[in-house]
Amino acid sequence: MRRRVQPVGLPLILVVLLASVAEVDATELPRVRLITTGGTISNRPGGRLSPDQLIRLVPDLRQLVDAETEEFTNIPSIALTLDQWLRLSRRINQVLREDQALAGVVVTSGTDTLEELAFFLHLTIRTERPVVVVGSMRRPESLGYDGAANLRQAFRVAASQHSVGRGVLVVLNDAVNSAREVTKTDASSLQTFGARGYGALGIVAPDGPVYYRGIERRHTANSEFTLRNVRRLPRVDIVMAYQGASGDFIRAAVDRGADGIVVAGTGAGSTNRQQRNAISYAFTRGVFVVMTTRTGSGRVAPPRPSNRDALGNDEPRQLRIAGEDLAPVKARILLMLALTVTNNVTDIQRMFGEY
């Protein structure tokens, strides 16, 4: 005798199956932690947006990632202190260490100093997992607000397995750049963040992040810099070379307690005699000097064995370091971290060649 299937059972089975599929789909979404520091992306007129308010601006975010939120601070990027840099890096390291199932981390920042914070994290976050720094050029509720789109793309990059091992990344305007190379190139344009002669690492396409190249220098999991016993970062100042510049600012930085000085020189790191004399003064006080270029791109190579500069002038080089292709603001960060590890000029020059 043929048994009849009870019709009421079929909808029940379907409900159970659909619920199981939905549960599996939900658990398969990569988990990404949003840690906010403030900046234009959250600077709504009348009050700053909280992390939860930020992610609600991305309507399909729940279909892309399992997003978590955490507020570190909510201020302009220029107001962040070096002590807060230390605490933020330690916090991100702690989050990634304690939660091994976390796919990645997204950090919001104001764009004015975003490249500096990103590079600092690039050198001090000890993980292969993606850490993505994001911001916006326009405020919430302004016409053409880019924050929601940038945040959406940052989450997608942080959630992607293709982003693993690439160091700290910066995502704005659908471009994915390395924290080491990226710089803000325009005061107000949406298309402001780029890597000048190097180009972006990749893009965020409709089907996810697509990478076209990597970076060769050391970073993140391969970095030798640890903040475990660092109570404060050494003071490093930046001085620019220009026509008729005196050496007064270099001498003043030394006298006011600088541990290091970065000189944004002309061309491939040139300075005039007055500044060279001031650099020699810095050497006598045990202050390291890193030579970089103010041009925005190009490499300042390590000095030749000769003790004469490019103009044929005698110049002490005992504490002089070539900044390679790093922008002055990034050379400053690397020198600060280097001085937490060593006072050996040869070791510091090696670091500038490796990072």
Please check whether residue 15 lies inside any domain of the structure: no
pLDDT in tens, the chain (355 residues): 333 333 434 343 333 334 444 443 445 999 999 999 999 999 998 899 999 999 999 999 999 999 999 999 999 999 999 999 999 999 999 999 999 999 999 999 999 999 999 999 999 999 999 999 999 999 999 999 999 999 999 999 999 999 999 999 999 999 999 999 999 999 999 999 999 899 999 999 999 999 999 999 999 999 999 998 999 999 999 999 999 999 999 999 999 999 999 999 999 999 999 999 999 999 999 999 999 999 999 999 997 765 555 545 545 567 999 999 999 999 999 999 999 999 999 999 999 999 9
Strand 104-108, strand 131-134: pairing: parallel
pTM of the model as a whole: 0.90
Please answer whether residues 289 and 318 qualify as being in contact, where contact means their C-beta atoms are separated by less than 8 angstroms.
Answer: no
Task: Indicate which residues carry an active-site annotation.
Answer: 40
Q: Are residues 192 and 287 in the same domain?
A: no
Q: Are residues 241 and 324 in the same domain?
A: yes
Q: Are residues 138 and 212 in the same domain?
A: yes
Q: How far apart are CA 136 and CA 218, in angstroms?
A: 28
Output phi, psi for 88, to 5 deg.
-65, -45
Please check whether residue 11 lies inside any domain of the structure: no
Name the burial class of residue 282, with classes exposed (0-12), middle (13-18) and buried (19+) by CB atoms within 10 angstroms of its CB.
Answer: buried
User: Helix 273-284 and helix 248-255: axis angle, to 10°?
Assistant: 20
Instruction: Quote the domain boundaries for residue 99.
Output: 27-222
Please check whether residue 149 lies inside any domain of the structure: yes
Please check whether residue 20 lies inside any domain of the structure: no
For residue 57, the domain's CATH number is: 3.40.50.1170
Q: Are residues 70 and 39 in the same domain?
A: yes
Please check whether residue 1 lies inside any domain of the structure: no
Indicate left, alpha or beta for 188 from its phi (over 0: left) and psi (-120 to 50: alpha). alpha
Q: Are residues 215 and 245 in the same domain?
A: no
Please check whether residue 10 lies inside any domain of the structure: no
Q: Are residues 217 and 309 in the same domain?
A: no
Please check whether residue 275 lies inside any domain of the structure: yes
User: Helix 114-124 and helix 328-338: axis angle, to 10°?
Assistant: 30
